[in-house]
Structure 1
Amino acid sequence: MNDDRPLHVLIAGGGLAGLATAQGLLRSGHTVEVFERDVDLDRKQGYYLHFNAIGGEALRRVLPDDLFELYLETSRESYDRPESIVLDNQFNELSSRPHMGPPNTGPRAHTGVHRRTLRQVLSGRLGDRLHVGAPVVSYDQDADGVTVTLADGRTARGDVLVGADGIRSAVRGQLFPDVPVVATGIKGIGVYGRTPLTPELDELMPDILNQGVLMAVDRKGSRLLIATFRPRRAADEAAAEIAPDVHLDPESGYVMISCSVTPGTVVPPTREWTAETPGLMQESMLAAVEGWHPAAQALVAGMDPDSIFMIPFGFIEPKESWEPSRVTIVGDAAHGMLPTLGMGANLSLNDAALLVEQLDRVARGEAQLIEAIGGYEQQMRETAYPILRMTLDHDKNFGGGGLAKASQEPATS
């Protein structure tokens, strides 16, 4: 093939990495089709996402200027301490550790986003290039391109296939059938929900709870993950002014929490949840924080029951190297990891920017296609794999040992 031309790229998965890749490619003059398994973009995958300069600056590299501005304006307000902080159950500080990544300064530092808002920003202007309810189940590649087969039997043809279809990626499963997904829990977190910010809750919350994503612990093994989201501007209002053709749902401030349940409480897999399950989880969480700071009890008591769900954590065993081809992987499909460093979304967006930059070299005639894809994959492995391995020692990653300190302190009467 003549590599000196724009590419037609097929993207399996409409999560953050897939949509960011699509935006970057369109910005550079390529054509794309995105195939997303869900019928909409509203599946519960979490709420607040911590961002640092790795993810935030990756967005600057792939988004049109107005959509990047929209991301910044709908992200959370800046905070004073760019650190991971561990508290005791009365919200006294135990330890802290600087966030990972390069310097993150300026009048609007990268802080964090509401996942659905960012996904709507990233899907802006994709139009009929985004196919929902259309998962990629397999592919065939040859010397001239890649053909994907969708779940309903339809096919599509392109120059490149990007697997952005999550930790249990069908694309990675075919590309690397020997790479396992390791299912694992993280003690004390896994059931998530959100509590609306109200004046009454604000009165109870000490200011430290506004300093990013924090973990509070007690000496009995209970944990409470806290992430307060106060957007710089209301999402729908910002969109109306900055990018009127992009729809963003209204979003008010909230606190995302994940709390321990009491010993013996069974957290069923998502497919087994009933209408009563969220309430049972909330009751167990309330019992787990009995005697904690009043704000902790209010946060759990105020959770919206409809927002409560569980995340089945896992990670992939990284494959050290492989021969590049027309099929590549980004995001969780490439390096699904535990969330304890808050780096998954940041690295996924960085993947998108790295891949777009390499494919742009092909369009400019500076590199052959397979060479460029191999260059991206090497950059991705060098950046993401060390962090993936760090997340596996997750109990040491909440604020530089605060959990160990809390568990070792003698109880006082």
Structure 2
Amino acid sequence: MTARPTVLIAGAGVGGLTAALALRGYGFPVRLYERRSGRAIETGGTGLNLWSNATTLLARLGLGERLAASTTRIERGQVVSERNVPMVRIPVQRYTAPGSSPGVTLARGELVRVLLEACEAAGADVVFGRTVTGHRDEGDRVRLLLDGGAEAEGDVLLGADGIRSRTAAQVPGDAEPVYSGVTTYRGVSDGSGGVPPETVHFFQGPGGVNGGAWHVGRGRVAWTVGHFAPAGGRDEPGTLRERALGLVEGFTGPPRAIVADTPEERIIRTDLYHRPWRETWGAGRVTLLGDAAHAMPTVLGQGACQAIEDAAVLAGELAASPADPVAALRSYERVRKERVAWVRDRVFKVGGAPRVDHPLLRPLFVRLTRLLAVRGQEEMWRGLQRPPHLPVPLPARPARNQPPSTHR
């Protein structure tokens, strides 16, 4: 049996952890480096939608039962107006591939916890509190450079270190993230606010105000409210909830209730950025995945899902060609660029759909949207939720043994 190359991973987000778990399943030695300390990675973010394309892969990694215990199944999506009038209904469960897992909603920290515990149980070496400062490809090996002058040596480096990736900065063709023009307020409420169960509930109002809400367990609902604003804005301390409530002041239905039911300290403000499309995802023994490669707008909730797809395909390509990891990385990039380009195209089309703000024309706009929304809906959602083909099936029982860490 060909020896498995040692894989270094920069970043312990959803993509990095999924890659580590999948690679351990195939028997690869894995060392993952994360700048945050200890279990702090479990506390970031608010809530996530994981559509069927992602949950199917996680189930194949043996996480189905663990996720089922802390998630809410998605049966449908809906978009309503500021008057809570339905504009679009999406029977997403009907649009899943045969034999695949249902989509779910959950707290982001819960997903990270499940992935981290699975990685540790599988023997992945997860090193916290080390900031990646760069890398050096030496031809037959690659070195990951860390703060304090430390280094880690391996055969392959995966840059999963987010939208402002230090790994991506050294890959040809890198560019600065682009501000979308939208800032969001996000939180997790203590009550449902009338958000229907098993539903991803989107709302859309005049003036570019829009958002979404979904159940994340224990009676809580994660929500987001976005609007157009200059980048870098700040709110006075203690005013985040007041500001978010002001944005949905004219809305009926769940938005005001869920924002009002969220403690101030549980609300965050975030400017939304995306990465320009890049043709080059890697070079030599280095490649990128997730937001480091293709951060996109959050419109269809595919960010974490595409990172999970990246991780599974990347691990599968390395498992198919362990003797030639550089060729495996280039094969991964070819496969994933085609898929991500398709998803990205849908994201920008949906996000760029026309809006009508005039109060006399809004009711007509809502009715027309309802009539036109069915066109292409099934094809898009079936495509979004189709799990990727893998050259080697994912193993559900990861190998346990791996060599000790060589970082220094």
Question: What's the TM-score bracket when you normalise by the shorter of the two chains?
Answer: 0.7 to 0.9
Query: Which of residues 341, 349, 361 is equivalent to 1:410?
Result: 361
Q: How many angstroms apart in 1 are the aligned matches of 2:101 and 2:319?
A: 29
Tell me what 1:226 maps to.
213
Q: How many angstroms apart in 2 are the aligned matches of 1:105 and 1:357?
A: 22
**Pairing 1:169-180 to 2, within 5 Å after superposition:** 169-176=165-172, 178-180=174-176
Tell me what 1:325 maps to.
284
In the TM superposition, what whole-angstrom CA distance separates every residue of 1:154-187 from its partner, at most 9, and x where no partner exists? 111001000000011100101135433212233x
Q: How many angstroms apart in 1 are the aligned matches of 2:94 and 2:26?
A: 26
AA of the residue aligned to 1:68? G
Q: How many angstroms apart in 2 are the aligned matches of 1:312 and 1:298?
A: 23
Cα deviation, residue 345, structure 1: 0.7
Residue segments in structure 1 that go unaligned for 5+ positions in a row: 231-251
Tell me what 1:339 maps to.
298
In the TM superposition, what whole-angstrom CA distance separates every residue of 1:81-128 from its partner, at most 9, and x where no partner exists? 2x3x21122322012346599725779622222211111111115447
Tell me what 1:316 maps to.
275
Does the alignment pair 1:255 with 2:188?
no
AA of the residue aligned to 1:51? L
**Pairing 1:376-387 to 2, within 5 Å after superposition:** 376-387=332-343
Change (3 A) 1:139 1:296: closer
**Pairing 1:194-273 to 2, within 5 Å after superposition:** 194-197=188-191, 201=193, 205=194, 209-230=196-217, 252-260=218-226
Does the alignment pair 1:72 with 2:41?
no
Change (3 A) 1:90 1:228: farther
SS class of match (1:340): coil
Cα deviation, residue 195, structure 1: 0.6
AA of the residue aligned to 2:189? T
Greater shift after overlay, 214-223 or 19-28? 214-223
8 Å CA contact 1:72–1:110 kept in 2: the answer is no
SS class of match (1:339): coil
In the TM superposition, what whole-angstrom CA distance separates every residue of 1:316-359 from its partner, at most 9, and x where no partner exists? 11222467421011111111111001111111000000011011
Tell me what 2:8 maps to.
10
SS class of match (1:49): strand
SS class of match (2:40): coil
Query: Which of residues 102, 115, 123 is equivalent to 2:116?
Result: 123
Q: How many angstroms apart in 2 are the aligned matches of 1:387 and 1:132?
A: 32
Tell me what 1:23 maps to.
21
Change (3 A) 1:309 1:322: closer
Tell me what 1:375 maps to.
331
Alignment TM-score, normalising by the size of structure 2: 0.79
Please identify which structure carries the higher strand content: 2
Q: How many angstroms apart in 2 are the aligned matches of 1:408 and 1:184?
A: 26
Tell me what 1:249 maps to.
none
Tell me what 1:145 maps to.
141
Does the alignment pair 1:54 with 2:50?
no
Does the alignment pair 1:352 with 2:311?
yes
Query: Which of residues 34, 41, 45 is equivalent to 2:32?
Result: 34
8 Å CA contact 1:23–1:122 kept in 2: the answer is yes
8 Å CA contact 1:41–1:119 kept in 2: the answer is no
Q: How many angstroms apart in 1 are the aligned matches of 2:111 and 2:200?
A: 18
Query: Which of residues 101, 108, 111 is equivalent to 2:104?
Result: 111
Cα deviation, residue 48, structure 1: 1.5
8 Å CA contact 2:181–2:231 kept in 1: the answer is no
Cα deviation, residue 266, structure 1: 8.3
Q: How many angstroms apart in 2 are the aligned matches of 1:302 and 1:90?
A: 20
Q: How many angstroms apart in 1 are the aligned matches of 2:205 and 2:276?
A: 32
Does the alignment pair 1:163 with 2:156?
no
Aligned residues: 359
Cα deviation, residue 406, structure 1: 6.8
Change (3 A) 1:407 1:71: farther
In the TM superposition, what whole-angstrom CA distance separates every residue of 1:217-242 from its partner, at most 9, and x where no partner exists? 33454334222223xxxxxxxxxxxx
8 Å CA contact 1:13–1:135 kept in 2: the answer is no
8 Å CA contact 1:191–1:259 kept in 2: the answer is yes
Cα deviation, residue 395, structure 1: 3.3
Q: How many angstroms apart in 2 are the aligned matches of 1:149 and 1:360?
A: 26
Does the alignment pair 1:286 with 2:237?
no
Output the aligned Cα RMSD.
3.0
